[in-house]
Amino acid sequence: MRMYDIIKKKRDGGVLTSAEIEAFIEGYVGGEIPDYQASALMMAIYFRSMTDEETALLTDAMARSGETVDLSRFGNLSVDKHSTGGVGDKTTLIVAPILASLGARVAKMTGRGLGHTGGTADKLESIKGFRTSLSVEEFISQTEKIGIAVTAQSGNLTPADKMLYSLRDVTATVDSIPLITSSIMSKKLAAGSKNIVLDVKTGSGAFMKTEEDAKILAENMVRIGKKCGRNVSALITNMDRPLGFAVGNALEVAEAAKVLRGEQKGDLYEVCVALATEMAALSLRLSPEDAKQAVIKAIADGSAYKKMKDWISAQGGDTACIDDASLLPQASFKKTVYAPCEGFIEKMDAEAIGTAVVMLGGGRLKKEDTIDYAAGIILNKKTGDYIKSGEQLCVLYTNNEASLVSAEAKYLEAVSFSQREPVFRPEIIEIVR
């Protein structure tokens, strides 16, 4: 089977067979197919797209290109969540303990932050002693004992995806729905959970800027996940403003703990309850109404917060940091940003606010960049709030005093004001089942 013929077939609008897709993935990962032929196929797929059957075959082949995790011992109880990335998105820190406290099994492999979006692994590493590197044996054993384990992605998990994404990134073929779907879903399949809930974000701080694009991606991932034998649903959620009030690693850990202690409601609570409800409905086979009541009760009675501390302790973290946020990394410098005028906050460019956090040291522009875990922003006001001139908008935190001026300027660029109360989208835009 020649790679030339596979490229030509897709270039001309043909439908690739299972054997052709397998041959491509095996050959590319094995070093037999050069980058220039792989990039030619990616470009052909970009223009000609793929059928659902082709996308499912590609997803499955990519998932099997490296190590896979076997969670079959947990039956239908295993559940995973994936977010397409946002600003202030600490939902894993909240929904995972909720689900584990209800009896589900959350075995999650997670990534690090890059660019304006944060990463769960970085947030967890702001907790003293927390280990984000677990062996497969530790990963499964901990999931069995306490119902939850979160580890940084294995180096040999879906190598095909790593290789192809690096290629797509430099050949202008990232924005292809079949290729995005296979990239995300192959990692979820390899991680082993029977049930998968997707948080597809849309808006200024999201990869999918429009609701239309987010819906297309959500529907595609749900269909492909089901074709690959998993129970999948997706929530399309609003990312036109940061989620919650904290943006930055240690600050987000502290906020997640507040939500689980029942001390904070608002948009973050709403999104987490919706995600956890969907995860509980799938993994515990509950009606949406019963699942929601169970989720709310797990927060209210403290069982989810206790499970969070059990999880942190099991992975070597200091649980005193969860009870007392002052024991988390603290910034040497802070700066309060004041409103330059009076009015309603009409819009917040979430991506720009995420960039301001990176400027403070709380994120990465390159994979090798180091993180200042204490850096970030606490928002005092958000879209829709009325504010008077000179009132506090937010507080910036960093260990690099020189970054405060530029970060403040970036934040102020991100916020616009109006004399009329704005109308903005709900947090949960749609559920795709």
| Catalytic sites, residue numbers | 82, 161, 168, 183, 187
Residue type, 146: I
Tokens of 51: 């059928």
Residue type, 162: K
Q: Is the dihedral of CA 390, 396, 399, 404 positive or negative?
A: negative
Residue type, 17: T
Q: How far apart are the first and last CA of the chain?
A: 38
The answer to whether the beta carbons of residues 162 and 190 sit under 8 Å apart is no
Strands (DSSP E) found in 26-156: 79-83, 106-110, 148-152
Helix, strand, coil tally for the chain in percent (to 5):
50, 15, 35
The answer to whether the beta carbons of residues 307 and 143 sit under 8 Å apart is no
Residue 341's CB is within 10 A of a number of other CB atoms, namely 10
In whole angstroms, what separates CA 291 from the centre of its chain?
22
Q: What is the rounded CA–CA span in Å between residue 425 and residue 416?
A: 17
Tokens of 164: 């192809």
Q: What is the rounded CA–CA span in Å between residue 136 and residue 151?
A: 9
The residue among 94, 421, 402 whose CA lies nearest residue 246 is: 94
Q: Which residues of 403-421 are buried (b: 16+ CB within 10 A; e: fewer)?
A: bbeebbebbbebbebeeee
The residue among 209, 207, 173 whose CA lies nearest residue 49 is: 173
